Amino acid sequence: MQHQGKAERRIRIPKNARIGRFHVMALLQAARYYLLYGDMDKAKSFGLNRAIFYAWAKYYGPSTGHYHLKRRDAVPQKVREVMERVRRGESSGLEAFMGEGAGRRREPLVVVDDRGKRWAILFDGMEAVPVGRNGWFEMGGKEQRPEDFDKQVAKSFEAVGIPFDVAWRAALEYVRRFPVEVLKSPSRFYKYVYEPVRDSFIDSVVRTFIEAEQQGEQLHSAISETRQQDTSEDVKRGAKSGSRGAGPPFRTLDEFLGKRQTRNDK
């Protein structure tokens, strides 16, 4: 993926640009996978897979559209047992790393259940996702391919005036600021990474990224200022902000959670 420099183009997002929660989830989940495993194609497959899963879980019944999600998609006992062994360090797991892949790819552990279905054990045993015959992540008996991500997610950002490479880099910068413990945990990722920006991703993350890049500023300085302004307004109103950006990187989970607790106690 090639990127033009700041001097070569200036991105101007339409004021009324909006992107759906489905696309935000897919993009952030793809960034999550890429930062931890370094495989862009698998990241796209994973991002779309998880977006479909959460959309189905929240809004739909046992089957919808092209994705028929049934009991076969539930994690079987055998796979859960392997996940537990990985979490306890009794079975081979993968040590996550931060930073862009640069050729450093790590394949997740794959196990086969009693029905012959393949499951990828991800994030040191914190999550398990079905894998199809071609190696892509699968949901409802249908594989989510990288080209499916491009059609359903990347083109949606392009359609509202955001070059996908810009949305992708903004997502990476945002996601990498959270502790690895948050990225590994599905529930923490949903709560701390996705939920705060699901309705304000363009304004909170993409616009901030573009402004910082075009002004020659470091991203964390610009976003930190945005968060401080949001927090100040929250205190005045006594309400929760609906457009939080990313703050400086947190070294540990305790530091991250402590920062949130301090903010909530104000």
Lowest mean pLDDT among 52-61, 148-157, 182-191, 243-252: 243-252
Provide the pLDDT confidence category of residue 74 given band limits of 50, 70 and 90. Answer: confident
Residue 260, pLDDT > 70, answer no
For 171-212, write each residue's pLDDT tens digit.
999 999 999 999 999 999 999 999 999 999 999 999 999 888
Lowest mean pLDDT among 11-20, 146-155, 158-167, 241-250: 241-250
Q: pTM of the full predicted structure?
A: 0.74
| Beta pairing partners, 131 | 118, 137
pLDDT of amino acid 40? 97
DSSP letter assigned to residue 119 = E
Provide the pLDDT confidence category of residue 218 given band limits of 50, 70 and 90. Answer: low
- Ranges of each domain in the chain: 162-265
Most confident residue range from 8-17, 92-101, 222-231: 8-17
Provide the pLDDT confidence category of residue 58 given band limits of 50, 70 and 90. Answer: confident
Cβ count within 10 A of residue 16: 7
Residues 6+ apart with CB under 8 A from 171: 27, 28, 30, 31, 205
How confident is the prediction for the chain on average, in pLDDT?
Answer: 79
Closest to 211 (Cα-Cα) out of 198, 233, 226, 196? 226
pLDDT of amino acid 183? 96
pLDDT of amino acid 65? 46
The pair of structure tokens assigned to 185 is 């945990």
Closest to 76 (Cα-Cα) out of 122, 23, 28, 130? 130
Angle at which helices 21-37 and 40-59 cross, to 10°: 140
Residue 117, pLDDT > 60, answer yes
pLDDT of amino acid 252? 64
Residue 153, pLDDT > 50, answer yes
Residue 224, pLDDT > 80, answer no
pLDDT of amino acid 140? 82
